[in-house]
A and B are shown apart, each in its own frame.
Chain A
Amino acid sequence: MNLRRLDQQLAWPDAVPTKELREFVRSQLQLEGELLRWAITSVNQDSSGVRWLQVEAVVQE
């Protein structure tokens, strides 16, 4: 097993309410490996109104 650290941005779709944010982030990060630990570490909105989540995580490969 290897542990890999992720530090990436995810666009937060308008269709995903905050109540579904955990499942949304998990579904995106699970593409990278089995999730061990993660957190949203910032939320920003760009000039076009798109919301971006900065997500940091450790996954197993």
Chain B
Amino acid sequence: MSSHPQPLPVLMVVPTGIGCTTGGFAGDALPSARLLAAASGCLITHPNVMNGAALYWSDDRIHYVEGYGLDRFAAGDWSLRPVRRQRIGLLLDAGIEAELAQRQIQVAEGCRATLGLEIGPVLTTDQPLQVSLEQGSSGVSWGRLGCPDALLRGGERLMQAGATSIAVVARFPDDPASDALAAYRAGSGVDALAGAEAVISHLLVQHLQIPCAHAPALAPLPVDPQLDPRAAGEELGYTFLACVLVGLSRAPDLVEADAGLIHSDQLGAVVAPAGALGGEAVLACLERGVPLITVANASVLQVTAEALGISASVVSASSYAEAAGLVLALREGVSPAALQRPLSAMKYLA
């Protein structure tokens, strides 16, 4: 075998708003994504994994695909076409106060000047989006928009004006005294904003079929000396926008199934938290026979391989480091079973 095996496309999913120990905070699954990208040579993952507010990482081997697009990709409805750059339209919620909106625009200007990104035009929605936060019976965060049509109208106008991807910033309700926020900043609980963020970006991607991602606009929080390091990326500046702009700047185009270069039938594995196997992307991979590597990564969910009756066909990893080793084994053509002891018995057909 060549010493440089071909990349093995791998899908990494850390569902948004379920309180994962790794990936439930400010882009804190990013080191794991970098390792999986190095092991696979081609990692497809979503903004919740990559977005660290003021912190980000750019890697040609990582393809930044918003969750709705990721689901359609995994299901084989869409494929991915890598690009050199995207022209990012910036959509600001009319509900953002003038000073906070100016902060967003200055981040965009900074990304143009310092990182060389192509950003613009900028548009403010014709009505406030009216974001509200909710929680499901499981403890997962969700949310809604009072004016979803205003979001879609804004996205359409930006696309008509030449944007090939869209960064949207919506005003989220401030709740600095809430128990949920205190728990999140202390390193436990669920990111209360994440579910609503996913709804916003899903809606745009579903409607426009171009890369889109969301950053919330919030008033700055008072300094917390006990802040968990995993949440620290969100407290380094006035906005959460820089990571979104960097991620979108080279996000692949979302194209019809036969028009792209990366297809779900090329996937060599899907990597997901062991208790969060009930999302559409993972179920679509199961449907298509993509090998599933589950990782011990606690959350509020317990939708495990055992609960789904698929324990025998899943490879379990105790960490993302172990998962990366398993991905590398698959890429090199080494059976993961050969790395386990005791070695399982061969099956004989009667």
Contact = CB atoms under 8 A, between A and B. Distances in A.
B303 interface: yes
A39 B142 contact: no
Interface in B252-300: 276, 278-280, 283-284, 286-287
A48 interface: no
B148 interface: yes
Interface residues of A, number: 25
Interface residues of B, number: 35
A56 B199 contact: no
A50 B15 CA distance: 27
Contact of A36 (B203, B278, B302, B310): B203
B194 to A, nearest CB: 12
Contacts of B148: 1-3, 60
Contacts of B303: 39-43
Contact of A18 (B75, B134, B301, B308): B308
A19 B292 CA distance: 13
B145 interface: yes
A46 interface: no
Interface of A: 1-3, 5, 7, 18-23, 25, 36-43, 53-54, 56, 58, 60
Given A56-B137, A56-B138, 11 more contacts: A3-B144, A3-B203, A22-B283, A36-B68, A37-B68, A37-B199, A38-B280, A40-B279, A40-B303, A42-B301, A43-B303
6 contacts: A1-B148, A3-B199, A21-B308, A25-B283, A41-B138, A56-B140
Interface of B: 15, 67-68, 75, 134, 136-138, 140, 142, 144-145, 148-149, 152, 198-199, 202-203, 206, 276, 278-280, 283-284, 286-287, 301-303, 307-310
